[in-house]
Amino acid sequence: MLSILDRTDDEGDPIDVQLSRLGAAPRRLVTRRPWYSRFALDWASGTSPLLMLVIGAAIGPHGLSLLSPGILAAVDPAVPVALAALGVHLALHVDLTPVPSRLRRVAAAAAGVALAAAVVTIGLLRLMTSDLPAAPFHAWVIALAAAVCAAMSLPTVDSRRTVRDSAGTHRFELMISIVIGGLVLAWIREGSLREATMLLGQMAALPIVVGVAAWLLVTPTASETEQRIFTLASLLLIGGLADYLSLSALFSGMMAGALWRLVPGPVGEAVLRDITHLRHPLAAFLMLVVGARMTMSAGLPLLLGYPLLAIAGGLAARAMIRGLTGPISVSASERQSVAPAVFPVAFALSAVRAAGPQADLLLGVIAAGTIVLQVISALRQGEESHT
């Protein structure tokens, strides 16, 4: 038997619609997502299953050794290509038109990212050393890299999206975090903030040059096979250059993707079509590699401190962003889901590749912390309500 709220009038309109016409509040429907979806064990949200981290650890060198050090060394060249693809995919889903409302969101996102990163950096340095100015170089590397990862986890911390905190704002937070992450990796290489800033500017030019070349090659008359070859070749070149210079492949891919998003022609659509087919396998590949390489050499204070500091920084950032932006409208294209769980793990892998053995414990801290944050986010989304 249908309840009175499920009935329709003579015109076929649901009772909810009639109530809204009369000014009454419509009923609220409470739905529960499947547990495997809430815990990121499916692809529905666009995130790589965090279960891949556990699988990677189980079959890695510290587990069953199915992924031996030799196999990991053999697949190592594919890692920067996968990272570059993630950066390209993110940039292609962001509307970069400089309208005032969007510029306001970018400024608010930058302020939120900076606040969250500062909270995590100071907190982790306090955990690793009692004297901040005299902290050893590796402590600063771990703290700053973890801060970038925490900033990339802001969408996970704020799991219940509202009109004010849209998917578009989350993407801006991810892009700003990737820029800061690129600066951190450049600082690790150069040791000076001034030289790192100059290097990051120079590094931004390389993927743009590759992007312009792909834009010229991918013409409307090119076949789909030719377009796919140009896309894969561009990703190989962008990721390879970043890896050779020990810089951020995420940043390089994002710069190329931003160019392809802005320029006219078929290149943006062709790249997006090809990367859309590859994003889930590449994300799963990255998770497996991180799971196989991570070690739990960090102490319990760091393992527990990172997710707690990420939550504290995320809540502070959310409060700041809400205060700066106010209500904003969200377009339909901006409602697509983002993949916050993949990006912090991917950047941690980049940081370890750039910094070397001194940052080995970073992978374990970020992987464990990301799982904790995802579980907390899943519990918060246990019941989603909508009208």
Write out pLDDT tens, residues 38-55.
555 555 444 456 778 888
Query: 12 or 200, which is more confident?
Result: 200
Percent of the chain with pLDDT over 90: 19
Average pLDDT, stretch 310-337?
Answer: 68
Can you state the angle between helices 224-244 and 193-217, rounded to 10 degrees? 160
Give the dihedral sign, CA 370/113/302/291: positive
Report in angstroms the alpha-carbon separations of 67 from 244, 275, 321. Answer: 24, 26, 43
Confidence of residue 189 (pLDDT cuts 50, 70, 90): confident
pLDDT higher than threshold 50 for residue 119: yes
**Confidence class of residue 37 from pLDDT cuts 50, 70 and 90?**
low
- What share of the chain has pLDDT > 70, as a percent? 75
Reported as type and span, the H/E element at residue 87 is helix 78-92
Q: For residue range 218-263, list pLDDT tens digits in order.
A: 877 677 888 888 888 899 999 998 988 888 999 999 999 999 988 8
- pLDDT for 36 equals 55
pLDDT of 386 > 70? The answer is: no
Burial 59-98 (b: 16+ CB within 10 A, else e): bbbeeeeebeeeebeeeeeebbbbbbbbbbbbbbbbeeee
Average pLDDT over residues 71-97: 88
Query: What is residue 60's predicted lDDT score, i.e. its pLDDT?
Result: 87
Domain spans of the chain?
Answer: 50-371
pLDDT reading at 181 higher than 60:
yes
The mean pLDDT value of the chain amounts to 77
Q: Could you please state the CATH topology (level 3) that the domain comprising 50-371 is classified under.
A: Na+/H+ antiporter like fold (1.20.1530)
Tens-place pLDDT, residues 358-372: 788 898 899 888 888
pLDDT at 278: 81
For position 382, what pLDDT does the model report?
Answer: 54
Classify burial at 335, counting beta carbons within 10 Å of its beta carbon; exposed 0-12, middle 13-18, buried 19 or more.
exposed
Q: Does 340 have pLDDT greater than 80? A: no
| Residue 147 pLDDT exceeds 90 | yes
Cα separation, 164 vs 330, whole angstroms:
9
Positive or negative, the CA dihedral 336, 342, 348, 350 is negative
